[in-house]
Amino acid sequence: MDERGYRDELASICKILYDRGLTFSSGGNMSVRVDPEHIVITPSGRNKGMLRGEDMIKVNLDGEVVGEGKPSIEVGMHLIYYRMRDDVGAIVHCHPPYCTSLAIMGERLKSNLTPEGAVLLGEVPIAPYGTPGTTRLVDSVREHVFSDCLIMERHGALAVGSDLISAFNRMEELEFHARLQFIVGDRAREFDAEEIEKIKQG
């Protein structure tokens, strides 16, 4: 896929996230790797449901903008993943209601309630709070960079994938599990380690 294709795909994923109530207004930020040295990321302060491919901002892995525009203030936490993990091709960070509720309460997300959760999510850590756009937030994410999903304390959720579709799928599954946790409450029982291993091997 060429850069234009990645830009358009990113805009499409942003629209789906917005339409499904996984992100709101200008909240969140999403990105995709377009080549080994560059990503495109959503612009700062723009409604995610109204973006076009040409609105996305190209940035190199040193954080320098290529061309024009202002990237999301949280570009630093995206770059940590791209620098440290060659397998990450896309990142979705948004503020879905159930995940964000857990983030506000500082409550762990139970990711092993269903077979799909066990496969797609793995253990989901809570990254300590950092003010958006600061090095503290970047450092908080760096602590958990080898997790494919995060709950970000008092902030929202983050999911990565080899491409935009896999990152989106993880975010959707993450919010589904958070919602199940609220519906089932104290009766939410996770699979034991033996069953999780069987599921992953299957």
Q: Which two tokens stand for residue 152?
A: 């970000």
3-201: CATH homologous superfamily? Class II aldolase/adducin N-terminal domain (3.40.225.10)
Say what the pLDDT of residue 110 is: 94
Q: Per DSSP, what are the bridge partners of residue 79?
A: none
Exposed, middle or buried: residue 54 (CB in 10 Å: 0-12, 13-18, 19+)? exposed
Strand 149-152 to 126-127 pairing: parallel
CB atoms within 10 A of CB 195: 13
HSE, CB side, 13 Å, CA atoms: give it for residue 36: 0
Please identify which residue in the block is written with the tokens 């495109």. 40
Calculate ∠ Cα 140-141-143, nearest 5°: 70
Could you tell me how far CA 13 lies from the centroid of its own chain? Answer: 12
pLDDT over threshold 90, residue 186:
no
Task: Report pLDDT digits (tens) over 32-72.
Answer: 999 999 999 999 999 999 999 999 999 999 999 999 999 99
For the entire predicted model, the pTM comes to 0.95
Contacts of 153 (CB under 8 A, 6+ apart): 103, 106, 126, 127, 128, 129
What pLDDT shows up at residue 39?
98
Q: What is the pLDDT of residues 71-104, one digit of tens each?
A: 999 999 999 999 999 999 999 999 999 999 999 9
Residues known to be catalytic = 74
Is the per-residue pLDDT at 26 higher than 90? no
Domain residue ranges of the chain, discontinuous segments joined by +: 3-201
